[in-house]
Amino acid sequence: MAEFLIPPHVILGSNGFKEAYGYLKSYGDRALIVTGPHVGKSPMVMALKKALEEFEIAYYVFDETSGEPTDEMVVKGVEAYKKSNSRFIIGIGGGSPLDLAKAIALMAVQKEGVGIADFCGKEIVCDIPKIVAIPTTSGTGSEATKFSVITDTKKDIKMLLKGNCLIPHLAIIDYENTMDMPKSVTAATGLDALTHAIEAYTSKKATELTDVYGLSAVKRIMKYLPKAYKNGNDGQARKEMAIGAFEAGVCINNSSVTIVHGMSRPIGALFHIPHGKSNAMLLGECLNFALEGTYERFGNLARACGLAGEKEDDKKASEIFIKAVEEVLEICEIPTLRQCGIEKEKFVELIPKMTKDALDSGSPSNTRKEVKKEDCEKIYCNLIAK
């Protein structure tokens, strides 16, 4: 038996705030808006505030999400939630404020002495305030998932929090909110979404239902990410990417990520490379590793994208697919670790810790091909050699 979970309510398209009236009113009369300092001043947050005022819902803005969310930000956010007497939480922005909104909702109802690290690695079952997720990037799919990734600042690790209660009650997906994304963010977040879709489709946990979303997401993102990257004003490309990122989020919510995410989180935690960027750096290497024994699945992806037909066997079609992914990576101009200023000696020194943290996360074990310690070490070595 395989459970399939998606957010109970999704509003897709423009005018989302107006459509959300009934839901928001039912969540309570005070909301905590969790966002970042930049998005916090943007026209979309202004529009959200205006809508809340019209709905007679009071709000308090917590805009202290800077970079990837940490346990320290969660503590401050919970203080803001309690001080403002909020009843529900609206996360608006990229994956970071959305993940932070989930963690704040979880911690807002805990007893004193309970820390967020206490939930790491456990299936969280808890009655928490309702979460509304409004993405302004097309990448993390956090609006569709039961996951929140929070950095433990003492241990320098990214904690993966998971539980059905963390699935947003309402997701508002309006591609117009993504039109202002700069090129580098379009690339990193779009490649994160592509990574989700490929990993979930080729994961050991894939099911017939996740396959539907996975094939659709990969097809959409492979076609429209290069267009969105080349021309940020391409409304259709932005719209398709917003849908693709959501579909990919639904996928990982039900069939998990695999080796790329497993190996990417330690790079993010130790070297502060944004999540989408470190995934993109790993994607080519990891897919070439995972290919063996997964030819049928990768072949299906090639055929879904129209890159191969019936005359190519699965192995040939798989190779065509990986090549096409590498071309998308090239178009998106993802820098190497060294171009990001990472020192080779420091990186090599931390490979044992990163390998351990990657394997301990459990994600690599969802890969159809067995991932050993030596495999991770080799991939990390190849990455810093570029």
Q: Which residues bind Fe ion (CB under 5 A)?
A: 192
Q: Which is nearer to Fe ion, 174 or 192 (CB)?
A: 192
Q: Which two tokens stand for residue 296?
A: 């049928």
Q: Is 306 exposed, middle or buried (0-12, 13-18, 19+ CB in 10 A)?
A: exposed
Q: Give the helix/strand (H/E) hosting 351.
A: helix 351-360
Residues in Cβ contact with 202 at an 8 Å cutoff, skipping those fewer than 6 apart:
258, 290, 294, 297, 298, 301, 367, 368
| Of 91, 31, 30, the residue nearest 65 (C-alpha) | 91
| Of 179, 201, 195, 367, the residue nearest 298 (C-alpha) | 201
Q: Which is nearer to Fe ion, 35 or 278 (CB)?
A: 278
Instruction: State the Cα–Cα distance between residues 78 and 367, nearest whole angstrom.
Output: 36
Closest distance of CB 110 from Fe ion, Å: 26
Closest distance of CB 200 from Fe ion, Å: 11
Closest distance of CB 275 from Fe ion, Å: 6
Closest distance of CB 268 from Fe ion, Å: 10
Instruction: State the Cα–Cα distance between residues 219 and 330, nearest whole angstrom.
Output: 18
Q: Which residue, judged by CB position, is nearest to Fe ion in the bound state? A: 192
Q: Is 44 exposed, middle or buried (0-12, 13-18, 19+ CB in 10 A)?
A: buried
The DSSP bridge pattern shows strands 147-152 and 157-162 to be antiparallel
Closest distance of CB 362 from Fe ion, Å: 15
The amino acid at residue 298 is F
Instruction: State the Cα–Cα distance between residues 32 and 306, nearest whole angstrom.
Output: 45
DSSP 111: P
Instruction: State the Cα–Cα distance between residues 144 and 253, nearest whole angstrom.
Output: 7
Closest distance of CB 33 from Fe ion, Å: 23
Instruction: State the Cα–Cα distance between residues 209 and 314, nearest whole angstrom.
Output: 22
The DSSP bridge pattern shows strands 30-34 and 88-93 to be parallel
Q: Which is nearer to Fe ion, 192 or 240 (CB)?
A: 192
Q: Which is nearer to Fe ion, 71 or 192 (CB)?
A: 192
Q: Which is nearer to Fe ion, 262 or 299 (CB)?
A: 262
Q: Which is nearer to Fe ion, 130 or 277 (CB)?
A: 277
Closest distance of CB 264 from Fe ion, Å: 7
Q: Which is nearer to Fe ion, 78 or 241 (CB)?
A: 241
Q: Which is nearer to Fe ion, 219 or 261 (CB)?
A: 261
Closest distance of CB 48 from Fe ion, Å: 25
